[in-house]
Amino acid sequence: MTARVTRWPGVELGSKDLESGKVTTVRFRPEAKFAWSAGEAMSRFLAELQRGRLIARECKSCGRILFPPRMFCEECFRPTDGWVYVRDTGTIETYSISYLDTDARRITEPILVGVVSLDGASPKMGLMHYFGEMTTKEIRIGMKVQAKWRPPESRVGSVLDIEFFRPRKGAER
Amino acid sequence: MTFTERTTDARMFRHWPGDIEADYIYTSGLAGERFFRELRDRGHLAGTRCSECGKQWIPPKLFCEECFKETHEWVDLPRTGTVAATCVVRVALDGAPLRAPEVWGLVRFAGFQGGLVHRLLVTEDRARAGLRVRPVLKPEGSRSGAITDIEGFAP
């Protein structure tokens, strides 16, 4: 506040005032539902996740293994050539210790999120996911991790069929 | 090549459903608050009057658009208004067809700038500009202080 402005004009209202009916309100929730089609490559990708596997596409021109899979090579401008499985192990490329949840609400126990590059895919290719079974002190770039899959019966064909990535047993730290 | 191995069975494709959470609570503001309280508690429609130029505003405004003066005077609307424009609505908010068409209109009031857009309680064939109408309110006690406290305008 400045010397001239000691308070903002207007009436301050809190959520209690709105709930108690202190003022007249209109409440509305638009039905903003949508469906995003996964397409050729991602449909197969999601189906394979449900089976507990990670699949990529290979481009025979540049030799890259594209993960997540795509039907077109953006380097060579040509269709990709075939399906290849990649492993569910990989390396942490980057990470965040987040004190905000997926709804941007403040949380006291941070969640660990980041990018894993997967073994079997071309360098730097992987996916963004959660990390678990490690502390904020232990997590580091270059850490070897492995997917912790949900039990087959609770998989739905989603990236969350992997619960999180955890430190890979037996790998050098 | 890829294009020969393309999936032709659409059931193989997956989709991802989503729902954008865009709910909100809209407060009426100072002038709107008074308007809706008058409507809820007294069953009256009220607007504001500019003491500078004498223009009267519905919906009520805190400032006169002409003089940029604050408007402090409140005045009741005439008991009847005049339909200025009509529209027959055949689809609901979500785009689904309505079972029966609804008639909507802009109602203006003598001596007031602006007007109210609301349901006209007439059949489609009677909806026309120039029709004299009066507000039909929900009974006292069941009004909540919203524009839906007016059920519509009837001849």
pLDDT tens readout for residues A99-133:
998 888 889 999 999 999 999 999 989 999 999 99
CB distance B25–A27 less than 8 Å? yes
Domain ranges of chain A: 39-167
**A81 and chain B in contact, CB less than 8 A:** yes
Angle at B103 between CA B101 and CA B109, to 5 degrees: 170
Q: CA of B19, closest CA in chain A: separation in Å?
A: 4
| pLDDT, tens only, A49-107 | 999 999 999 999 999 999 999 999 999 999 999 999 999 999 999 999 999 988 888 89
Token readout for A127 is 């996916």
Q: Write out chain B residues lying below 8 Å of A72, CB-based.
A: 2
* Three-state secondary structure call for residue B31: helix
| pLDDT, tens only, B37-52 | 999 999 999 999 999 9
CB distance B20–A34 less than 8 Å? yes
Q: Tell me: ipTM over 0.85.
A: no
Residue A55 and residue A45 in contact, taking contact as beta carbons nearer than 8 Å: yes
Mutation target vs B (from A12, A13, A16, A24; most B CBs, 10 A cutoff): A24
- Give the N- to C-terminal CA distance of chain A in Å, as an integer: 52
Q: State residue B1's pLDDT score.
A: 44
The shortest CB-CB distance from A38 to any of B16, B145, B146 is to: B16
Q: State residue A6's pLDDT score.
A: 80
Arithmetic mean of pLDDT over chain B:
91
Is the pLDDT score of B69 beyond 70? yes
Residues 4-23 of B with CB under 8 A from A: 6-7, 12-23
Q: State residue A32's pLDDT score.
A: 86
Q: Nearest chain B Cα to A27, which residue?
A: B25
CB distance A36–B3 less than 8 Å? no
Name the nearest CA neighbour of A129 among A104, A151, A96: A96
| CATH superfamily ID and name for B26-154 | Nucleic acid-binding proteins (2.40.50.140)
Is the pLDDT score of A44 beyond 90? yes
The shortest CB-CB distance from A157 to any of B14, B17, B30 is to: B14
Q: Write out chain B residues lying below 8 Å of A42, CB-based.
A: 14
Q: Pick B141 or A10 by higher pLDDT.
A: B141
Long-range Cβ pairs for the range A124-127 (8 Å, 24+): A124/A93, A125/A56, A125/A64, A125/A65, A125/A66, A125/A67, A126/A67, A126/A90, A126/A93, A127/A67, A127/A68, A127/A159
Mutation target vs B (from A16, A22, A26, A36; most B CBs, 10 A cutoff): A26
pLDDT confidence bin for B11, thresholds 50/70/90:
confident
